[in-house]
Structure 1
Amino acid sequence: MSAAAPRRALVTGASGFVGAALVRRLLADGWEVHVLLRESSSTDGLPAASPQLQVHRHDGSTLQLIDIMRVAAPQVVFHLASLFLAAHQPQDIERLINANLLFSTQLVEAMAACGVRKLVNTGTSWEHYQDQAYNPVCLYAATKAAFTALLRYYVEVHGLRVVTLKLFDTYGAGDTRPKVLNLLKRLANDGSSLAMSPGEQLVDLVYIEDVLDAFLLACQQLDTQPQPMEEYGVSSGQPLPLKDIAALYAQVSGKPLNIEWGGRPYREREVMVPWHSYRGVPGWQPRVGLAQGLALFHAA
């Protein structure tokens, strides 16, 4: 990090895999980190509270969030909190809107009220089904895109400077999320079988340390980018068919994977080819190859 880089950050979503990893990286780099969590969120993935790490519990109100923002006085906010649902049910609407639109808007309202201007926001490649400029894969992706539209108001009226990182598939050591790699890990470890789709969909996996590098470079760019609002894709640049990833996982783990390919259909609006019209983060390249990353993931 350069000497001029911000050294006090507020992080949302720190109870999740990527958010907790970002907090640990920032602390290791000497930052003072303020974490914003719901009252029910776990801190199990975080270091113990200290003068360098302070945890703030949000009661859901805008006014209390403004108070937290004033106390934390961050020079930059990293916004990773979201509710991810690949497909929603009618009873999920309130949760999706509250997590991905209401809370996110409360956050930038608090930033505006407290004179905090720098935001690294998190979006998703799923906002761009079939590589279109606007075509959300699911309602989750639609809420992420909707918040970007709301952000434009705060950029124009309150002078926020924003970089949105649109993530592809993230993974890494210690990742316990119910995603496809943990299914493969289970098959390798217990020898069970699993029916999966035909497996021809391309999957773009980015290792967690590379993802964190992208967040920190995005933070640096907030001071120098010519436009107040930019967005970038965080992609390996080398998506592979799910079948090939499973074969590589079997090779890395040294265990056969008992998969019934085609035993279940593709899900509705399956992403067969990931978004590829993105711009990459200036100066960023992934450093951890897939074989190395899968080995680290499997060994954890």
Structure 2
Amino acid sequence: MTTERHVFLTGGTGFIGRHVLASLLEAGHRVTVLRHPADAPASVHPRLVWLSRAMDQLTPADLAGADVLMHLASPGVPPQQADWQVLFYWNVTVLLQLLDTARAAGVKRSVLAGTFAEYGRSADAFDFIPASAPLAPAYGYAASKAAGFQAAHAHAIEHAMELCYLRIFSVFGEGQYAGNFWPALRLAASQGLDFSMTPGAQVRDYVPVEAVARAFRHAAERGDVEAGRPWVRNVGSGSPVSMQDFAQHWWSVWKAPGRLLVGALPYRPNEVMRCVPEMAADLFLSGSEHEGRRFA
């Protein structure tokens, strides 16, 4: 039986965050969700509290009583645009403020969302990218996330805090930005349109957002995280697939009347042809759980 945790969640109104929030509540946890003062609460639940506050204005009193800080909020995620100064302010400076605030409030564990983009150019050296691979980000958002990871990693060691850091790979699902591959594919299928795409030889690890949410929930629940020894994992499905095969699978599932126009678009300049994580067997609490190992 899972012990109830009180989780302080940032980014709970975003694509992944909404699924993480639902998973936490379903598992019986209490959740305080930080929201922008201009936003209205998105849902009501007896174990859910909405806190209206700017993230860089949080105090230890705001996090008092929380067992876990779960941080998913970040600028620069598509369709957002942000310059380097904004990215580094929120993803490094404010992250460190948040970790210090959590520590002052007595919060023992932080669970932070990372991205496969932190690996950048170093991913070219691996068929399956280990969580220990060097970080060589190639653009601003990725660089700010990598810098935030390094800062949080050192902070956890210096202050003997528990840290779980999860790098998310090619997540897809309900609520995703419409311009991303899977929702754009679904829209074309639902409208009976043809869908233009590249030759589709790029190999990716597509992981359902529900599996990502479970991975974050399990990071909050697990009892094997040691203070001062950061626990860093990739979050994927463990099932590499070409973009063409992925598209054809869903085109068939949706019984789309249009055509998949494979090869109608060129590859992007400097296209990454393979981006697949090495998956740790202990990502989920139960060794028999492989929720991500499917497209549905």
TM beyond 0.5? yes
1:104 to 95, 106, 110: 95
1:81 to 73, 76, 80: 73
1:287 to 268, 284, 291: 291
Q: Structure 1 stretch 194-203 or stretch 219-228: which is displaced more?
A: 219-228
| Cα shift at 1:115 | 1.9
Q: What do the CA deviations read for 1:148-167 (whole angstroms, capped 9, x no partner)?
A: 11113321332211011111
Distance 1:222 1:41, change over 3 A: farther
Please give the root-mean-square deviation of Cα atoms over the aligned residues, in Å.
2.7
Answering whether residue 119 of structure 2 is matched by residue 119 of structure 1, we say no
Q: What do the CA deviations read for 1:90-134 (whole angstroms, capped 9, x no partner)?
A: x62233223322332221121122121201111112222324522
Distance 1:12 1:277, change over 3 A: same
Structure showing the higher helix proportion among its residues: 1
Q: Is the 8 A contact 1:194 1:258 kept in 2?
A: yes
Distance 1:11 1:85, change over 3 A: closer
In 1: Cα distance, 2:79 partner to 2:20 partner: 27
Q: What do the CA deviations read for 1:146-205 (whole angstroms, capped 9, x no partner)?
A: 111111332133221101111112223454543111111111111233432221111211
In 2: Cα distance, 1:34 partner to 1:237 partner: 32
In 2: Cα distance, 1:8 partner to 1:241 partner: 40
> Which stretches in structure 1 are left out of the alignment for 5+ residues?
294-300
- What letter matches 1:106 in structure 2? Q
Q: Is the 8 A contact 1:199 1:241 kept in 2?
A: yes
TM alignment of 1:66-215, pairs within 5 A: 66-70=60-64, 73-85=65-77, 92-128=83-119, 129-130=123-124, 131=126, 132-215=133-216
Q: Is the 8 A contact 1:65 1:106 kept in 2?
A: no
1:53 to 38, 44, 48: 48
SS of aligned partner of 2:215:
helix
In 1: Cα distance, 2:83 partner to 2:259 partner: 34
Aligned to 2:129: none
| Matched positions, count | 283
Q: Percent identity?
A: 27
- What letter matches 1:287 in structure 2? E
- What letter matches 2:70 in structure 1? F
| Cα shift at 1:225 | 4.2
| Cα shift at 1:278 | 5.2
| Cα shift at 1:229 | 0.4
Q: Is the 8 A contact 2:201 2:243 kept in 1?
A: yes
Q: Structure 1 stretch 105-114 or stretch 265-274: which is displaced more?
A: 265-274
Q: Is the 8 A contact 1:86 1:138 kept in 2?
A: no
SS of aligned partner of 1:61:
helix
SS of aligned partner of 1:103:
helix
Q: Structure 1 stretch 257-266 or stretch 121-130: which is displaced more?
A: 257-266
Q: Is the 8 A contact 1:166 1:234 kept in 2?
A: yes
In 2: Cα distance, 1:193 partner to 1:160 partner: 52
Answering whether residue 259 of structure 2 is matched by residue 258 of structure 1, we say yes
In 2: Cα distance, 1:230 partner to 1:78 partner: 14
SS of aligned partner of 2:274:
coil
2:36 to 11, 28, 38: 38
- Report the TM-score, using the length of structure 2 for normalisation: 0.84
- What letter matches 1:246 in structure 2? A
SS of aligned partner of 1:135:
coil
> Which stretches in structure 2 are left out of the alignment for 5+ residues?
127-132
Distance 1:115 1:227, change over 3 A: closer
In 2: Cα distance, 1:243 partner to 1:42 partner: 40
| Cα shift at 1:138 | 2.9
Q: Is the 8 A contact 2:34 2:55 kept in 1?
A: no
| Cα shift at 1:143 | 1.3
Q: Structure 1 stretch 186-195 or stretch 239-248: which is displaced more?
A: 186-195
Aligned to 2:246: 245
In 2: Cα distance, 1:258 partner to 1:173 partner: 23
Aligned to 2:26: 28
